[in-house]
Structure 1
């Protein structure tokens, strides 16, 4: 019996990276680059905004503004999946790029803190929705066996955007003004027609919507594997998956993962927002303070490429705990005035460990979860961590406003130590539970 197109086997994947995979990865990489530029630009121009007292801006208001963007990211991240299921991954990516670009235009023309804050909040919604959508896209089109490597490559774009933000600030803020930096962040609008024309729709979305002929044509033409059709989950199924995270003794394990993620993202976004300003407070010139942003994000790129390999060899929980400990040491040392070359090295190493430590939390949760509950466990761990992302920029502003700026790096270091403790305890409990289950299974087998 001949099989219909919708039930035919998936095409074999070429050992080389297919043309479509390169196209999708390249387009998503550029979109995430713009995401990183827009995310980091506020921290890069913040020292100038405070020194010139733009809008009468104070340190505590600056912290609030930083939290507006991360709150918007929380909203965007939590709603991205639902919206993408309705309109498609491609359309959501285009919408996110359009939103954060236009929102930067609002910041560029703003005449008050309130309007500027609105722009940053709307930008955050677009930024928060883009990254998980881009990850889903490249996961669909990555060649077989190279998904993790492909996602790692995609994540380097975010840090490349951070590097670009520092150079935009260095080149434009002093001679032209801070508004020019935000006008640069509007330019990704020119990328939208490229996405409309060249970016294909997600294979998973096409399969889920029953557009199997279209999905098969893309998969066969560009030699990528067609994802299996997944059963549609009801609201009751999603609610049951969430409740499963708290049944039995799982509630404590879940809480530990959430607390570790909270501290990790507090650290990531607190440092990303306040690094140039805190380095200025340590006595460095603005140009040098922005150079630290470049070095920090270079470290982030290296860390993303190294952490996955280390986790595959030694285990994600162990690497996450060690990475957070090393991050805490590095962040604490940034508050100690050292030789500039030594400080650059510390900033680089802190970037290596800080950015990938949080990623290893997600890897740990993914590994320790059951296949049918993995997406829920990782999604909620990320979502709870986003509250830390909101809190981090606010905390830095409050410390500076109260004259306790010296405690900025120390506070972020404490957050790193707390995440190390939480992920370490969670990993130990999980290992002991696994050993107990194994012993019980052996005892059952002997009867």
Structure 2
């Protein structure tokens, strides 16, 4: 690989382009994911489509169920057809599905739209993580993934302002029309996003991969050994070889609790805070602070994980998160509540992302999308359960128990990822890192 200054500078700019395109795709992912929680208070107040609190929780779970399906399927599909094609398909799917939500005349049609959107949203995230992992500088994989995930929370912030600036004058449907706009981004991805290096090598397209690696000034991943390219279930089976099944299950259980917490809070935070007596504007301010904290947390956690190890940082972050979420069930002055929400956002969102970083960094390039996709996908069971649980507690007039339940989920994730961290220290890595 050439090491000339001109090529290195050019390669760095092009590598930034890859991360930048994935960042924008994940921004739209975050907008579409968080917009439902942001407009939910309006929908409940207006009795839009005739929904009740219990149905609102069900609708939130429809999207996360779709994300479960999308995440489980994405890894295997991406390892077969390529990360780029799957990313483009996912962006197109959740954009069109948001249009279906915008024109929905019944709860059933709206729920179908959220389910289809969830499939696209669930497929995009692990695919984008795998893509940026391929192009991350040596020793900077965790911070690169953390940087990518700031886009998800930037999308959450954007969703709050969509609710404040657009929904008030134009109604709740306008928010979902805004979420159709990422469809315009599809041609940009098709034109400028390169294919994953790991995928190209795994498919035997070595010369094409080498050309890209030279162009982007990154290391060419090693070819997978003793495995025919494209073996349908081989990548999934690799997660259970020998004693790998123990580590895999620990990651899946930690992801379950983490995503229960993330999506439970993301769906119900504005509504729960409004139920505590805050005005809608203040309740949406919590969404902004929560996601600003997420952005800060991604950068801090990514840097710390590159230095101390992603599973260790994730365990510590979950412990602090559990304390912060529990504090939200205690009535506090508004300023103190703002601080607690911000700090909870710092630790909560990045704790879950560092599970993905742990899996991504410790997986072979040819197997990475499957490993991350299935960790995300199994965690989506928690993402389905979290919004449903919040809705049931709210319908039973026990909203204060919602924060306690979410805190317990955070504690459980701390335990599982903590055990995984100890096993990582005591044993050799599950797979040699690609970078």
Q: Is the 8 A contact 1:270 1:389 kept in 2?
A: yes
Please name the residue that 1:26 is paired with. 20
> What is the CA–CA distance in structure 2 between the aligned matches of 1:429 and 1:143, rounded to whole Å?
26
Q: Which residue of 2 aligns with 1:441?
A: none
- Which fold has the larger relative contact order, with Cα–Cα distance below 8 Å and residues 6 or more apart in sequence? 2
Which structure 2 residues correspond to residues 398-413 of structure 1 after superposition, within 5 A? Answer: 398-413=392-407
Q: Judging changes above 3 Å, is the alpha-carbon distance between structure 1 residues 220 and 251 closer, same or farther for their aligned structure 2 residues? A: closer
**Equivalent runs, 1:12-411 vs 2, <5 Å:** 12=3, 16=9, 18-230=12-224, 231=227, 232=229, 234-235=231-232, 237-238=234-235, 240-244=237-241, 247=243, 254-364=248-358, 379-411=373-405
Partner of 1:443: none
Check the 8 A contact 2:139/2:306 in 1, yes or no: no
Indicate if the aligned counterparts of 1:328 and 1:417 stay in contact, CA closer than 8 A: yes
Note the C-alpha offset of 1:341: 1.3
Question: Deviations 1:198-225 (Å, cap 9, x if unpaired)?
Answer: 2222233333444444434333344333
Alpha-carbon contact 1:282-1:335 (below 8 Å) kept: no
Alpha-carbon deviation of 1:267? 0.3
**Structure-1 separation of matches of 2:212 and 2:246:** 44
Structure 1 residues 206 and 12 mapped into 2: Cα distance closer, same or farther (>3 Å)?
Answer: farther
Q: What's the CA shift for 1:385?
A: 1.4
- Tell me the distance in 1 between the aligned counterparts of 2:35 and 2:409: 24
Q: CA deviation at 1:295?
A: 0.6
CA separation in 1, counterparts of 2:345 and 2:389?
Answer: 20
Measure, in 2, the Cα distance between the counterparts of 1:416 and 1:322.
11
Which of 404, 408, 417 is the aligned partner of 1:414? 408
C-alpha deviation, 1:417, in angstroms: 1.7
Q: Deviations over 1:164-197 (max 9, x none)?
A: 0000011011111000111000011111122222
CA distance in structure 2 between the aligned counterparts of 1:264 and 1:291, rounded to whole angstroms: 23
Q: After alignment, is 305-314 or 347-356 more displaced?
A: 305-314
Q: Distance in 2 between the 1:364 and 1:88 partners? A: 22
What is the root-mean-square deviation of aligned Cα atoms in Å? 2.7
- How many residue pairs get aligned? The number is 422
Q: Which of 126-135 and 255-264 deviates more?
A: 255-264
In structure 2, do the counterparts of structure 1 residues 27 and 295 end up closer, same or farther at CA, with 3 Å as the change threshold? same
Query: For the Cα contact (< 8 Å) 2:126–2:369, is it kept in 1?
Result: no
The two structures have a TM-score, normalised by structure 2, of 0.88
Pair 1:38–1:198, CA change in 2 (3 A) = same
CA contact (8 A) 1:55 1:113 kept: yes
Q: Take 1:52 and 1:322, find their aligned partners in 2: how far apart are those partners? A: 41
Task: State the secondary structure of the residue aligned to 2:353.
Answer: helix
Unaligned 5+ segments in structure 2 are 429-435
Instruction: Give SS of 1:322's match.
Output: helix
**Does structure 1 retain, via aligned residues, the 8 Å contact 2:67–2:377?**
no
Distance 1:171 1:369, change over 3 A: closer
Q: TM-score, normalised by structure 1?
A: 0.86
Per mean C-alpha deviation after superposition, the further-off stretch among 84-93 and 128-137 is: 84-93
CA distance change for structure 1 residues 183 and 414 in 2, over 3 Å: closer, same or farther? same
Contact 2:134 2:196 in 1 (8 A): yes
Aligned equivalents of 1:195, 1:94: Cα separation in 2: 7
Q: What's the CA shift string for 1:85-126, capped at 9, x where partnerless? A: 343222211111110000000000001000000000000111
Deviation at residue 26 of structure 1 after TM alignment:
1.4
1:151 Cα deviation from its structure 2 partner: 2.0
Task: Return 308-317 or 327-336, whichever deviates more.
Answer: 308-317
CA distance in 2, matches of 1:251, 1:20: 38
Higher alpha-carbon deviation: 123-132 or 222-231 = 222-231
Deviation at 1:343, TM superposition (A): 0.9
Deviation at 1:362, TM superposition (A): 3.9
Cα deviation, residue 338, structure 1: 1.7
* 8 Å contact from structure 1 (residues 34, 161) kept in 2: yes
Instruction: Give, in whole Å, the separation in 1 of the partners of 2:295 and 2:340.
Output: 15
Structure having the higher Rg: 1
